[in-house]
């Protein structure tokens, strides 16, 4: 764009947009000052997250960590707990790592140069531009999805915005549109327009301050732009989750596990879980629908959890789903023992949940479990193999149960009456599983010398777990958690939802011992 065109574009686009923004914009806490630390934290939080969601998190975060130094010096666990509910926890880790860089290399002052700000961990071109322009009023573009949409429509840009070359071109265009001395206000005006007027669907063209010369509006193509190649859908993973209830001295506690120091959701706490191979769900004809079928039979699954309604028994499920649950329970028990040395006895299905990452979708089936003799020590593997065998009884006990009290008819009546969901352990299926487990050796201390037994599912899924040496109690990275500690440990959102759902049912009398 030559100088003449730049001046015309600023006259027709930049100045009216800036005047519109100054006349009235949303009152957001990070806009009340030009504190670069506040702006930085807000921009990191706003990545992949709605403004309405971010506001309370931002306010609480600033109460806990009011300065760069406070954030840099805080324990990581405290930072992750403050971030809990926002998701994308690598953002919090990178933010704290960058705060330490600012403390150690910049005297605790957020850098005011492109080179300095770009050197910080987790700070990309958009975040750098936002901090430099809003906090320091430097003429740097801040191009996010809102800005790319606005400029693509106004200038009728037909390039794929997912391509790096297109982004670079839009950044160059945005830089040319910044009025002298108005970088911060202009960039915020662009973002505001995209967030409130020039929205992805059904843009509100009539109140738009720059509608007169908007090329996409004039061509009738506003809803077509911007062009973006469809992203690859997240890969689905089916997982079985163990919600293990403590007994004896651990009564009222739940078994939790800390994730490894590296990788996805590093060092966060979770309920023990394993990925289910397709074969675990694919055998048995219609049972290949597995856990997904179980979710459908219970009314579907959203981002929260789908629970078994009051009065329902496992027999209320379709036979295929019950068979899949039986295999999943056995695989869960065998794998936790083989990999972690945690011998647990799955008792019954509790609920389903879903969690979306950018590249993975977890479909979770949550099973109520109890610790088996040999938990965390010698005999754990043999105990788990017995659990794998006994869990298959869940399938047999569940098939054809619609005539039993609390079956499908009771489900419908309970749902029609609006009864609160209940998690009830006194079902026919769970009783038979418990009886079978006692016969298999769970009723007394497991024999350390016991044979590990046959491979689960005739060797199709996992090798028979090896007997593990005694670890003196809990396996590494495991602990018993009281409900009071739920407010202290950082959990990914999906496990937090599961735990809160279970706790609510427990407190309302929906969980029996």
Catalytic residues, which ones? 43
One DSSP character per residue, 165-185 reads HHHHHHHHHHHHHPPTT-HHH
Helix (H, G, I), strand (E, B), or coil: what is residue 89?
Answer: coil
DSSP E strand boundaries for 76-159: none
Question: How far is CA 142 from its chain centroid?
Answer: 27
Q: How many residues are listed for the chain in this entry? A: 513
Bond into 226 cis (ω within 30):
yes
Paired with 236 in beta bridges are 361
The CA distance from 14 to 20, in Å, is 10
What does each C-alpha distance from 135 to 32, 127, 177, 184, 431 come to in angstroms?
A: 11, 12, 19, 7, 64
Instruction: Using the structure block, give the residue that is written with the tokens 């028994």.
Output: 313
The CA distance from 324 to 279, in Å, is 10
The CA distance from 83 to 87, in Å, is 7
The CA distance from 85 to 223, in Å, is 32
């Amino acid at each position: 764009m030559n100088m003449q065109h730049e001046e015309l574009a600023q006259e027709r686009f930049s100045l009216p947009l800036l005047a519109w923004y100054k006349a009235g914009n949303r009152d957001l806490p990070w806009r009340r000052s030009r504190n670069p630390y506040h702006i930085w934290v807000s921009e990191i939080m706003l990545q992949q997250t709605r403004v309405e969601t971010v506001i309370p998190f931002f306010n609480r975060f600033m109460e806990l960590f009011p300065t760069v130094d406070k954030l840099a010096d805080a324990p990581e666990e405290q930072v992750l707990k403050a971030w809990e509910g926002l998701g994308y926890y690598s953002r919090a880790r990178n933010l704290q790592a960058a705060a330490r860089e600012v403390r150690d290399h910049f005297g605790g002052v957020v850098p005011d140069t492109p080179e300095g700000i770009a050197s910080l961990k987790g700070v990309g071109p958009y975040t750098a531009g936002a901090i430099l322009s809003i906090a320091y009023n430097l003429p740097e573009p801040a191009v996010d999805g809102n800005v790319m949409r606005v400029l693509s429509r106004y200038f009728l840009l037909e390039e794929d915005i997912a391509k790096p070359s297109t982004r670079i071109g839009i950044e160059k265009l945005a830089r040319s549109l910044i009025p002298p001395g108005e970088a911060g206000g202009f960039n915020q005006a662009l973002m505001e327009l995209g967030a409130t007027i020039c929205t992805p669907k059904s843009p509100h063209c009539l109140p738009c301050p720059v509608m007169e010369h908007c090329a996409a509006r004039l061509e009738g193509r506003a809803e077509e732009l911007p062009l973006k190649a469809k992203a690859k859908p997240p890969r689905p993973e089916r997982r079985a989750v163990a919600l293990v209830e403590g007994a004896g001295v651990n009564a009222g506690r739940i078994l939790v596990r800390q994730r490894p120091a590296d990788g996805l959701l590093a060092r966060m706490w979770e309920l023990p879980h394993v990925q289910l191979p397709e074969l675990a769900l694919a055998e048995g004809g219609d049972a290949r629908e597995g856990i997904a079928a179980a979710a459908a039979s219970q009314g579907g699954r959203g981002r929260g959890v789908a629970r078994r309604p009051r009065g329902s028994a496992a027999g209320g499920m379709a036979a295929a789903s019950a068979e899949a649950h039986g295999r999943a329970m056995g695989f869960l028990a065998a794998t936790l023992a083989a990999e972690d040395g945690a011998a647990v006895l799955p008792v019954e299905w509790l609920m389903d949940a879903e969690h979306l990452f950018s590249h993975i979708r977890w479909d979770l089936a949550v099973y109520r479990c109890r610790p088996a003799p040999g938990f965390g020590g010698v005999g754990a593997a043999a105990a788990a193999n017995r659990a794998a065998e006994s869990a298959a009884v869940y399938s047999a006990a569940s098939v054809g149960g619609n005539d039993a009290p609390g079956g499908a008819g009771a489900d419908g009546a309970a749902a029609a009456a609006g009864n609160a969901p209940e998690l009830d352990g006194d079902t026919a299926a769970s009783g038979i599983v418990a009886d079978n487990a006692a016969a298999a050796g769970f009723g007394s201390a497991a024999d350390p010398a016991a044979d590990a037994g046959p491979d689960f599912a005739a060797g199709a899924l996992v090798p028979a777990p090896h007997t593990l040496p005694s670890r003196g109690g809990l396996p590494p990275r495991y602990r018993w958690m009281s409900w009071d500690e739920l407010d202290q440990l950082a959990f990914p959102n999906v496990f937090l939802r599961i735990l809160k759902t279970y706790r609510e049912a427990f407190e309302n009398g929906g969980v029996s011992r």
